[in-house]
Amino acid sequence: DDDDNTSKETIKGGSLNDALRYARSQARLLVVYIPSSPPNKKKKGNSYDDVAIRSLTSAVVSSVTQKRAIRTKGGGKGSSYGSFVLWGTKAGSSEAVLSTKRLKVKKTGSKESPTLVVVYPAQVIDSSGRPKLIPRVLSQHHCNPPPNSESMAAWLNALRKRHAKQYATMQHELQELQYFQERKEGYKESIVGDTNREKREKQEEMERLAKEKAEKEHIEMLQKRRKTLRENLPEEPSADDTSNVMTIALRFADGRTGKRRFNAEVELNELFNWVDGFFDIEREKVILSTMNGQRSFTFVGEDAEENDEETSEIMTLEEAGFGRMTGLRVTERKEDEEEEEE
């Protein structure tokens, strides 16, 4: 049929309260088994208790306990919850006595007969405002004699169909609890996500501010340095002075041009200071190349080491081989090129 389970059902122990809580958590009705008191030891294996337990733990009864409690009209799967939880006590135990009183079990017939009670674990609110489970008896079987497995399965199956309302109530509660847990988990994930996003945004903002500060400080440094470079640039020889004087003509990539006279003994670095101070290109990024592209020069700082032929040595204009009239192309080294060199 549906959801058949050929494995034997187990009868749970513990207290009645524990059984009620477990049944409610599974959205199932609770089948309470209370053995005869005292048990009949003379009919070992064939007593009413033995017959009842064999029926309860049979495969056919197990199939009913695991069967979906509610089915859809169209024949669909309906609920995914089972129907019954089995719970029992020991004969003569305090739990057996307590359960008998609490469930208001009325013994009829022989004392050798156990009792089966099907209860609904109803949830109520106590005087303190807290939820509390109470057993509401739906049916009682006096087991005089105990039903065989087929009869017990039919009895439980009829109860399953009769009490669809109780099943629906418990299942709705479990679904709402599941939705609440999902919303709670979603809220936690959202909080974690918000926290991580805030940390990331804060870190990005700190990095942005640090970058802006560094850029601002760098610009201020360049402005001060360019002022100093302009003031300290070697004085340009007069037009009348032709001895040992060179004229340097610059051509920039953006179309600008520059022209100035220098003494031949002036260090090559002064050309870079000239470009930096008057044309606003950082001297560390400047590349000066001859018009034919055969030679190029870069600024040599105090910590510079001998590198390849593209790097300038500390030399004068005359040592660099410049003539009385020299034209140079000015290009700016890009940041990615600088990183590759580093």
How would you write the pLDDT of the chain (342 residues) with one tens digit per residue? 444 444 556 788 889 999 999 999 989 999 999 998 665 566 565 688 889 999 999 999 999 998 887 765 544 444 567 899 999 998 888 998 899 899 998 776 667 789 899 999 998 888 888 888 999 999 999 888 899 999 999 999 999 999 989 989 888 888 888 888 888 888 888 888 888 989 999 999 999 999 999 999 999 999 999 999 999 999 999 888 878 999 999 999 999 999 999 999 999 999 999 999 999 999 999 999 999 999 999 999 876 554 444 454 689 999 999 999 999 999 998 875 555 555
Same domain (yes/no): 25, 155:
yes
Q: How far is CA 210 from CA 76, 219, 220, 282, in A?
A: 64, 14, 15, 22
Query: Would the pTM of this model clear 0.85, i.e. be above it?
Result: no
Q: Are 279 and 258 in contact (CB under 8 A)?
A: yes
What is the spatial distance between Cα 307 and Cα 319, in angstroms, rounded to a whole number? 18
d(CA 336, CA 342) in angstroms, rounded, equals 10
- The angle, 0 to 180 degrees and rounded to 10, between the axes of the packed helices 164-232 and 269-279 is 120
Q: How many domains does the chain have?
A: 3
Same domain for 65 and 141? yes
How many beta carbons lie within 10 A of that of residue 173, not counting itself? 14
What integer pLDDT is reported at residue 43 of this predicted model?
Answer: 59
Question: Within this chain, do residues 143 and 27 fall inside the same structural domain, yes or no?
Answer: yes
Buried b (16+ CB within 10 A) or exposed e, 29-49: bbbbbbbbbebbeeeeeebbb
For β-strands 325-332 and 245-252, DSSP reports them as parallel
Q: Same domain, yes or no, for 198 and 310?
A: no
- 253 and 315 in a single domain? The answer is yes
pLDDT score recorded for residue 126: 83
Same-domain pairing of 22 and 144: yes
Contacts of 329 (CB under 8 A, 6+ apart): 251, 253, 288, 289, 290, 291, 293
- 150, 159 in Cβ contact below 8 A? no
- Both 42 and 93 in one domain: the answer is yes
Q: Are residues 157 and 204 in the same domain?
A: no
Would you state the pLDDT for residue 9?
60
Q: What is the CATH number of the domain that holds 140?
A: 3.40.30.10
**Confidence (pLDDT) at 221:** 95
| 6 assigned to some structural domain | no
pLDDT at 78: 47
Report the pLDDT value the prediction gives residue 109, as an integer from 0 to 100. Answer: 62
pLDDT number for residue 1: 41
Boundaries of domain holding 124: 16-162
